[in-house]
Amino acid sequence: MRHTHMILAAATSLMLGASPAVTQETPEENGQSLMQEGARLFWEGFQREMGPALETLRDQAEEMEPALRDFVEEMGPALRDLMEKAGDLSAYHAPEVLPNGDIILRRKTPEDAPETSPDAPLPEGEIEI
């Protein structure tokens, strides 16, 4: 959940970085409407509140970068080999966890696989697009 907030903060900072600078004049001095002034105050408050979170996010990303690089370098070939052995994952049912903790992957049989023939009738209620 915390990572979701950090991602939202990063996305918001990108949007805010692209926004034009706003002056500190009152609405009457520069002709802004009350809505524009409210939006400006909202964004200023939002930037003030999100600033520390964005700094933390940047620091954490810098800390995690070496570990993530090592993980990709070490696990990349193993994951590639696993994917080659497993083949098309749509040929398997969802994993099942047995009461003893074992996890099994059952390969789909031809009866389980949906018809892929163009002449096959569509399931009831579906429309061909």
Better pLDDT: 92 or 123:
92
pLDDT of residue 88: 79
* Long-range pairs for 58-65: beta carbons < 8 A, 24 or more residues apart: 60/6
pLDDT of residue 16: 52
Better pLDDT: 3 or 71:
71
For the chain, the distance separating the N- and C-terminal CA atoms, rounded to the nearest angstrom, is: 38
Better pLDDT: 97 or 15:
97
C-alpha distances out from residue 48 to 13, 17, 43, 112, Å? 11, 13, 8, 56
42 and 35 in contact (C-beta within 8 Å)? no
pLDDT of residue 77: 87
pLDDT tens digit string along 45-101?
A: 888 888 888 888 888 888 889 888 888 888 888 888 888 887 777 888 889 999 999
On the question of pLDDT at 103 being above 90, the answer is yes
Tokens of 50: 């999100």
pLDDT of residue 93: 87
